[in-house]
Amino acid sequence: MKNFYEIEKYWKDAELFMEIFYASSINHQILAEKLLYMQLRNYMICSEGGTSSFNLGTFAGLLGRTIKDKQIEAVEVSCQGQGREYCEVYVGLPSELKKKVPETEIITSEVEEYNAYDLSYKLYNRPVSSFRGTSLLDLLREDIFSYSEGTLSLLGRFRFFPLEILGLHLLERNLEGPVLKASYEVGREIGEVLPRNDVDFLFNLISALGFGVSVPVSIAGELRVRIEGYPYSKLLNFNFPYLRGFIKGLMEGSLGGEYEVKPDKYLLGNNLQLLLVIRKSG
């Protein structure tokens, strides 16, 4: 098999990385030059809701990049989120997948060239040198977050995992309304169970989750939040739907009342700086 050793090495490295945050265990088997079988336990997203489209796209992209073939797709045949013991996935060319799962419709997709990792991506996503805020490690030490066997959770109830910013920006560009609504609902659920109900703690959480160093200041009856180092890519939606929805939900769930969150200004300098204006409604 021409690419066996290259695929095997790459996939073992990918599994080690994914087992840090994304699953408690992952096993694979290379069945053909362009066909891979995977078995996953407690994989994020899927194990909670039984929804696998985001996961399958990730697996197809990983293998497609390894063997330099954009036609690679993925099919799930067993799902832990739907009551099975684990998730099972085949990743490969549509012609190979049809041999394994002939009864399943193989949905193909066009893969665009984004070329987002240019000089501006590297420049604007540099670490913020002046960071003095709360980190994720701080919240782990305070038992706000916990980590065990590939699962990072907030207060033992909400699972978190790292997401390269292009994934979020793609969703925001194509599904702005649903992203705004979903992030609000998640933020509100989290806000309702947080151990502290104060503005500083909420924006320490925003900083720790990687949205940038967040500094809230009350001025003339409104809250102004300066965020330094907000994640940047060429696909950035400058309406910032996820961040706006998440902050609105956090504040309403934690502090009560209703809030309006609007981006006021942004500046691309040493990094992306964003100013939000938050007003209480009614």
Model pLDDT, residue 282: 67
pLDDT value, residue 66: 82
Residue at 183 is within a domain = yes
Statement to judge: residues 258 and 131 lie in one domain: yes
Q: Would you give per-residue pLDDT tens digits along the chain (282 residues)? A: 456 777 788 888 888 888 888 888 889 998 888 899 999 888 765 645 545 677 788 888 888 888 888 889 998 888 887 888 888 999 999 999 999 888 877 777 776 666 667 788 888 998 877 667 788 999 999 999 999 888 899 998 998 988 889 889 989 999 999 999 999 999 999 999 999 889 999 999 999 999 999 999 999 889 999 999 999 998 899 999 999 999 999 999 999 999 999 999 999 988 999 999 999 986
Which residues form the domain of 77? 4-100
Asked if residue 172 is part of any domain, the answer here is yes
Report d(CA 251, CA 187) in Å as an integer: 8
Q: Are residues 75 and 169 in the same domain?
A: no
Tell me, yes or no, whether 130 and 250 share the same domain.
yes
Q: What is the pLDDT of residue 45?
A: 59
Rounded to two decimals, the pTM is 0.84
Query: CB–CB of 46/80 below 8 Å?
Result: yes
- φ and ψ of 228, to 5 deg: -105, 125
Phi first, then psi, for residue 149 (nearest 5°) are 50, 55
pLDDT score for 51: 54
Please indicate, yes or no, whether residues 154 and 27 belong to a single structural domain of this protein: no
How confident is the model at residue 50, as a pLDDT?
Answer: 47
Question: Is 133 in the same domain as 258?
Answer: yes
Assess if residue 48 is contained within a domain.
yes
For residue 42, the domain's CATH number is 3.30.1380.20
Q: What is the CATH number of the domain that holds 216?
A: 3.30.1380
Is 52 part of a structural domain of the chain?
yes
The answer to whether residues 68 and 140 belong to one domain is: no
- Indicate whether 167 and 276 sit together in one domain: yes
Q: Is 57 inside any structural domain? A: yes
Q: What is the pLDDT of residue 47?
A: 47
- Predicted confidence at residue 52, as pLDDT, reads 65
Q: What is the pLDDT of residue 115?
A: 67
User: What is the Cα–Cα distance from 220 to 114, expressed in whole angstroms?
Assistant: 43
Considering the domain architecture, whether residues 77 and 189 belong to the same structural domain is answered as no
The reply to whether 113 falls in a domain is: no
Q: How many domains does the chain have?
A: 2
Measured distance CA(180)–CA(245) in Å, rounded: 5
* Whether residue 128 sits in one domain with residue 80: no
137 and 268 belong to one structural domain:
yes
Is 107 part of a structural domain of the chain?
Answer: no
At 37 the pLDDT is: 93
